[in-house]
Amino acid sequence: MTVHPQTRFVLPDSLNASEPPEARGLSRDQVRLLVAEGSTITHTRFDRIGEHLRPGDLLLVNTSGTLPAAVDGSWITGAGVAPVVVHFSTALDDGTWVVELRDARSPMLGGTAGDQVEMPEGVLTLLAPYQSESNRLWRATPPVPDVLGYLARHGRPISYSYVGRRWPLASYQTVFAREPGSAEMPSAARPFSFELVSHLAAQGVLIAPILLHCGVSSLESYEPPLPERYDVPAHTARLVNWVRANGGRVIAVGTTAVRAIESAVTSDGTVTRSNGWTDLVLGPDHPSRVVDGLITGMHAPEASHLLLLESVAGPDAVQRAYTAALNEHYLWHEFGDACLLLR
């Protein structure tokens, strides 16, 4: 049974961020920041986030790097050849990939097993739908075995119709990116600058790495997130347990960091070294257990990510935050403004 988030709103097209803040004359860390703590809403700027953090708080940051995961091809069908954009979403353990075929605005859903897409250096072959109930995502054999190298040669960052032009891969990387693997940017961390990170460290705010490779985010309404590869290092697990035992707050930078750390919680509530694939879906029947706050971008209406936000801060707080963001004309999506939700 699909569980819907309680948060409801209508997003006008004018609030879709169509370009990076740098193109609007701002530095990364000068986007707007909405802070929601209890019933209090504060409007500020991201480079002042330290005013809302305490010495001993721990930020969990996703170190996954964004791939240039979109490649043009020609889809060979019974009706002829059609131009298509292949989004490389997720590398599977057997060397195949989860892919999405798209035109300029939407998924192309007419695929069948055995279809081929002519691409630079070779052919991509559709093997089977990745989800039994949908043919939006496919398991496929890639054109070459070394897909990361292939994407570096031929790919570009995934973008959607609200972004008016193509931007370089650097625009889709965070300062924490270390290991390439995300089809789309873990964008909650984008507003962090190296200067801001150094200021927070000097303030006594702790920062620890976590890894979760994001797949494509163009999910249907309320579609839950798919399994994703993650890694919670032993030193991060120890630090989370220490911070919690000593009265600090664990604040995840992004829904990806929440999903990863909550996947490493044992039955007694402690965090342990953990990696592999997570299919965890947070919501009313599975609230967050160790995360006390969340730094996040603004999510689209009907996005299942809203359930995760509600699992951390509560549905009332999330609704208040989104209503305030709309009233104050915050910008949405990966190049938009940010929100700090505190339990």
Structure tokens at 289: 């257990």
pLDDT at 211: 98
**Contact criterion met (CB below 8 Å) for 262 and 290:** yes
Candidates 308, 298, 337, 334; CA nearest to 9 is: 298
pTM comes to 0.95
Give 128's Cβ-side CA count (13 Å radius): 5
**Contact criterion met (CB below 8 Å) for 228 and 259:** yes
Give the type of residue at 248.
G
pLDDT at 44: 98
pLDDT at 222: 65
pLDDT at 1: 52
pLDDT at 115: 94
pLDDT at 220: 54
pLDDT at 218: 57
Pairing of strands 206-212, 228-232: antiparallel
Cβ neighbours around 175 below 10 Å, total: 16
Q: Which residues of the chain have pLDDT under 70?
A: 1-2, 218-222
